[in-house]
């Protein structure tokens, strides 16, 4: 299954770095970059916001990408040996990437597959020919865009062998075609490089070899210098031009007159014994040399010569662009294709409509981190971004395994990095900060320089971020990790040196007989730590046992943070730095909650045994019921068949199976929620904290907050108020309180900033409890059941994610409705109306087999009354987010146009002869009917021809010129 088959209704754009890239291409005339990957996807990138995506029908890796010079077409080669033609076609003022043809070489009957197995492709500068080198040593010439093989122009292995001295051919076979290069100043000449090292300069017009260059080492690449004066070749023994001291393959070599003196660039060439684990590109200019030490295997690279000279390198895990004009050759920061997975993503959090002040402060903190980047602009500028400016400023926060939190500008098509927060400085970790295997030593030759940001190795897995909550109004941020740590941070524009003291919270509350078998907690640094400008920690809560934090929420108006693990939950006052509440939810029979994630594998057998027991109980019960009531069931079925002919079939609702209280992790806290509502009586509202567990239990605590003038002195107190046990013990995944108008309560500080209506405190409030099985509404303060909606499915659907959103009308700016957005384990999105709790629509969104995608999904957190953009994100690979939208008013998607480039004045010299006829708009001998027809075909297929046909008069004029 390919990545793109995961896309469903509402998918708008993909953010991040393509998973498993396999091919790189670039068009200097279009200034577009193309990347193909192993799943058959092809993606094009130009100026920021200019993006195109396509997918081959074949589930095969893209091995090569070649743009046709001065055209909007490109050709891809897949590892199934198929060639595909793509074009950027204009439609309603926008360009779209479309596949317009496919082709596969066919050899003579009985020939082995190697004869037509394509190993090298050359898109000729005329834009009309493809030269295809094969594994069998032949070169086929194909006319494009029609993919017509020109058999009379093919270059067979026999023709080449006959032009080479017998002593060379006698010693070795030529092997496959490794490289094809065109002479930059004479398009009739191409060099054919064979695997064994032989290079032949072939004249396309005269159809004969004009020079041969013998070599004794395996050929890796060929480069013809821009002035056409000589050819560079690289070989498997580490040599270019002539044998060198190094004995590792030089994979690719370039010699460029970007400036004086010229540049020499090559990849590989490093001694295997000493540097076998490094992926390097060496850049040499005069006496300056550096070996760029990249983070993963090199796929391909090229150099941009028009505008800011830059080296563009595609490696397996990121795209690196080097400024070749600035001293020191610094890296240019990429506005897209940033590796989201530089450290593995462990969680994400989205915030919409960020206030401008917070936005600017985050940007300022990020700019201080990016002083090492080049000041040159992004060099890939193709196409026009026609998308309107984003209606709001959105942030996407990603937590990572190494304890970092990355802030991304998610307002538009490009997911741009803004700021990076690291929490590792608060703790003592197991790694030595000076221990860097890639760090070069003084005097080392060649001089290494590490480039790129991909670093999948975590110093300590306990640092991993599991939950994030940011208040955009106050600037307070809280993050929670794998080892039970909860940090509270505030935004500071200046560097500060401070000590962060840990407050230990014992969630077991003194229960005996339990022994934590998981990882230990992190050691907090006792000495002051210098934190750079940005988010700086000032409070730390450490859960004991140090289990993964499973729920987290922040109320910046009350200065409270609530957190939960598999053992219980707590409430922390970060203003006074005191614990307010500790509640143990651990089931005495739940031994798995004591093991931690590192020993979770041991419990698989136990989980399987419990599942089989439940299955056996269900089957026995159903069998007895079937035997005793067979006759009744038959009668009921007969009545139903008669009734269904007269009425519409109602949705089948799956029967909910009661879960045992002995199931594992019943005490795990799944959701936490703050609400100002009615708990004691219907006339006095009070702050409250609600917690839902994996065992279907809901706890409510009444909070007493001192007056504002005494908030810093008097303690916050909490007392138990309500407890609800759902009948079927399904895990509680969401809690929402609805006010007197049936609207969800606003977020903290929203009303104070005039961004939300004040909640209705006159009418009665309702409590909506969302479990994996159903949606149930209770009245407050009595907590009596009012209505419920079971998840309508017959295939075992379960609620996995839930969010509240405001759906603005696409026709009226003043009208909208609140709704509940639900993602199931089947990958379906449901919208449930509020307060009526009725199913409205259902859309397929994520493949049901994509468990990681469903688990990673996050909905946008919108203002209830101001926002009109509802979308979500989920990981389609470790390095890519898919964005989807349920809004019709504003959709974030690429809207761009790529125009046909104008040919340069000397482009006519790049036209080879085809049996006496010329291409494009040249003259045709009147006595050559075949040539006239071929020329007419070429012109009619030429995009420039149709771009000039504004009306029928111009069309007739052009045809008259053609046939004159």
Query: Which tens digits make up the pLDDT trace of 91-103?
Result: 999 999 999 999 9
Return the bridge partners of 42, or none: 36, 54
On the question of a common fold for 105-247 and 392-591+663-885, the answer reads yes
* Cα–Cα distance measured from residue 677 to residue 684, given in angstroms and rounded to the nearest whole number: 8
114-118, 236-240, 747-751, 822-826: range with lowest mean pLDDT: 236-240
Structure tokens at 46: 């130009």
Query: For 857-867, what is the mean pLDDT?
Result: 63
* 397-419 residue pLDDT tens: 999 999 999 999 999 999 999 99
Confidence check: pLDDT of 923 > 70: no
Q: What pLDDT is attached to residue 170?
A: 58
Give the CB-side neighbour count of residue 890, counting CA atoms within 13 A: 16
b/e burial code for range 892-931 (CB count within 10 A of at least 16 → b): bebbbebebbebeeebeebbbebeebbbbeeebeeeeeeb
* Cα–Cα distance measured from residue 550 to residue 548, given in angstroms and rounded to the nearest whole number: 6
Q: What pLDDT is attached to residue 365?
A: 97
| Banded model confidence at residue 171, pLDDT cuts 50, 70, 90 | low
Q: What topology does CATH give the domain 105-247?
A: Methylamine Dehydrogenase; Chain H (2.130.10)
Q: What pLDDT is attached to residue 262?
A: 86
| Banded model confidence at residue 920, pLDDT cuts 50, 70, 90 | very low
Q: What pLDDT is attached to residue 662?
A: 55
Query: For 473-478, what is the mean pLDDT?
Result: 96
Query: For 492-515, what is the mean pLDDT?
Result: 91
| Banded model confidence at residue 443, pLDDT cuts 50, 70, 90 | low
- Ramachandran bin of 443, using left for φ above 0, alpha for ψ from -120 to 50, beta for the remaining angles: left
* Cα–Cα distance measured from residue 792 to residue 823, given in angstroms and rounded to the nearest whole number: 13
Q: What pLDDT is attached to residue 878?
A: 94
Confidence check: pLDDT of 626 > 80: no
Mean pLDDT of the chain: 83
Q: What pLDDT is attached to residue 141?
A: 96
Q: What pLDDT is attached to residue 635?
A: 57
Q: What pLDDT is attached to residue 623?
A: 45
| Separation of first and last alpha carbons in the chain | 54
Q: What percent of the chain has pLDDT over 70?
A: 79
Confidence check: pLDDT of 929 > 80: no
Q: What pLDDT is attached to residue 933?
A: 37
Q: What pLDDT is attached to residue 259?
A: 64
Q: What pLDDT is attached to residue 453?
A: 93
CATH H-level, domain 392-591+663-885: superfamily: YVTN repeat-like/Quinoprotein amine dehydrogenase (2.130.10.10)
Candidates 235, 292, 284; CA nearest to 263 is 284
Q: What pLDDT is attached to residue 18?
A: 96
Structure tokens at 909: 């010299």
- Structural domain spans, the chain: 105-247, 392-591+663-885
Query: For 617-626, what is the mean pLDDT?
Result: 46
Confidence check: pLDDT of 885 > 80: yes
Candidates 56, 61, 69; CA nearest to 126 is 69
């Amino acid at each position: 299954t390919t990545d793109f088959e995961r896309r469903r209704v509402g998918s708008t754009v993909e953010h991040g770095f393509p998973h498993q890239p396999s091919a790189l291409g670039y068009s200097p005339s279009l200034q577009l970059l193309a990347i193909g990957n192993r799943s058959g996807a092809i993606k094009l990138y130009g100026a920021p916001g200019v993006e195109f995506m396509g997918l081959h029908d074949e589930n095969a890796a893209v091995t090569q990408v070649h743009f046709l010079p001065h055209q909007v077409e490109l050709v891809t080669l897949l590892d199934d040996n198929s060639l595909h033609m793509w074009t950027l076609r204009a439609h309603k003022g926008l360009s779209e990437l479309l596949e317009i043809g496919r082709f596969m070489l066919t050899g003579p009957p009985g020939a082995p597959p190697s004869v037509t197995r394509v190993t090298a492709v050359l898109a000729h500068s005329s834009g009309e020919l493809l030269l295809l080198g094969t594994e069998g040593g032949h070169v086929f010439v194909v006319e494009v865009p029609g993919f017509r093989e020109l058999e009379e122009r093919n270059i067979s292995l026999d023709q080449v062998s006959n032009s080479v001295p017998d002593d060379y051919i006698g010693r070795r076979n030529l092997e496959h075609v490794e490289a094809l290069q065109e002479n930059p100043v004479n398009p009739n000449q191409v060099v054919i490089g064979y695997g064994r090292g032989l290079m032949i300069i072939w004249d396309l017009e005269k159809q004969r070899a004009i020079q041969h260059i013998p070599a004794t080492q395996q050929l890796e690449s060929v480069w013809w210098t821009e002035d056409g004066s000589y050819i560079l070749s690289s070989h498997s023994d580490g040599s270019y031009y002539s044998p060198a001291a190094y004995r590792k393959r030089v994979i690719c070599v370039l010699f460029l007159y970007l400036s004086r003196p010229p540049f020499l660039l090559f990849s590989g060439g490093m001694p295997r014994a000493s540097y076998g684990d490094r992926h390097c590109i060496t850049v040499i200019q005069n006496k300056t040399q550096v070996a760029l030490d990249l983070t993963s295997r090199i796929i391909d690279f090229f150099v941009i010569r028009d505008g800011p000279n830059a080296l563009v390198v595609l490696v397996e895990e990121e795209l690196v662009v080097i400024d070749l004009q600035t001293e020191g050759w610094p890296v240019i920061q990429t506005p897209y294709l940033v590796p989201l997975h530089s450290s593995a993503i462990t969680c994400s959090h989205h915030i919409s409509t960020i206030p401008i002040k917070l936005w600017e402060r985050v940007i300022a903190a990020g700019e201080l981190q990016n002083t090492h980047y080049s000041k040159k602009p992004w060099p890939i500028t193709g196409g026009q971004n026609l998308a309107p400016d984003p209606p709001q400023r959105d942030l996407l926060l990603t937590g990572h395994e190494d304890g970092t939190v990355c802030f991304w500008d998610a307002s538009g098509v490009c997911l741009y990095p803004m700021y990076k927060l690291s929490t590792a400085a608060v703790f003592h970790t197991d790694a030595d900060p000076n221990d860097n295997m890639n760090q070069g030593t003084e005097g080392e030759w060649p001089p290494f320089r590490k480039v790129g940001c991909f670093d999948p190795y975590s110093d300590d897995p306990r640092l991993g971020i599991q939950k994030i909550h940011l208040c955009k109004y106050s600037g307070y941020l809280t993050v929670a990790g794998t080892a039970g740590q909860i940090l509270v941070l505030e935004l500071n524009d200046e560097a500060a040196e401070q000590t962060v003291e840990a407050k230990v919270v014992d969630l077991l509350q003194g229960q005996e007989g339990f022994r934590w078998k998981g990882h230990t907690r992190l050691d907090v640094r006792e000495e002051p730590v210098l934190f750079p400008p940005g988010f700086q920690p000032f409070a730390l809560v450490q859960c004991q046992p140090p289990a993964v934090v499973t729920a987290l929420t922040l109320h910046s108006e009350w200065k409270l943070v609530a957190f939960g693990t598999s053992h219980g939950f707590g409430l922390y006052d970060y203003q006074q730095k005191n614990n307010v509440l500790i509640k143990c939810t651990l089931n005495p029979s739940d031994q798995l909650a004591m093991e931690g994630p590192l020993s979770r594998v041991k419990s698989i057998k136990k989980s399987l045994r419990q599942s089989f027991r439940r299955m056996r109980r269900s089957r026995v019960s159903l069998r007895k019921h079937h035997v005793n009531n067979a006759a009744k069931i038959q009668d009921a079925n007969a009545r139903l068949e008669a009734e269904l002919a007269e009425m519409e079939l109602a949705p089948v609702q799956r029967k909910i199976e009661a879960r045992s209280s002995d199931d594992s992790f019943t005490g795990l806290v799944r959701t936490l929620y703050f609400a100002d509502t009615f708990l004691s009586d219907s006339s006095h509202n009070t702050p409250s904290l609600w917690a839902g567990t994996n065992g279907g239990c809901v706890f409510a605590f009444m909070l007493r907050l001192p007056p504002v003038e005494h908030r810093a002195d008097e303690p916050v107190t909490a007392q138990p108020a309500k407890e609800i046990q759902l009948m079927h013990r399904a895990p509680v995944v969401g809690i929402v309180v609805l006010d007197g108008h049936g609207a969800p309560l606003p977020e903290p500080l929203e009303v104070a900033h005039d961004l939300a209506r004040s909640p209705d405190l006159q009418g009665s409030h309702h409590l909506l409890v969302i479990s994996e099985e159903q949606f149930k509404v209770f009245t407050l303060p009595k907590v009596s059941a009012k209505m419920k909606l079971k998840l309508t499915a017959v295939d075992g659907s379960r609620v996995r994610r839930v969010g509240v959103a405001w759906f603005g009308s696409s026709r009226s700016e003043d009208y909208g409705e609140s709704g509940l957005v639900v993602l199931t384990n089947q990958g379906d999105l449901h919208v449930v109306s509020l307060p009526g709790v009725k199913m409205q629509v259902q859309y397929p969104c994520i493949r049901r087999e994509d468990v990681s995608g469903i688990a990673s999904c996050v909905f946008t957190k919108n203002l209830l009354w101001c926002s009109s953009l509802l979308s979500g994100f989920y990981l389609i690979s470790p390095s890519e987010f898919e964005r989807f939208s349920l809004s019709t008013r504003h959709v974030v998607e690429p809207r761009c146009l790529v125009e046909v480039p104008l040919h340069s004045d000397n482009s006519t010299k790049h036209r080879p002869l085809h049996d006496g006829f010329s291409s494009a708009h040249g003259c045709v001998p009147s006595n050559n009917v075949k040539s006239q027809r071929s020329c007419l075909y070429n012109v009619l297929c030429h995009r420039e021809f149709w771009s000039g046909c504004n009306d029928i008069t111009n069309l007739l004029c052009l045809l008259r010129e053609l046939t004159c």
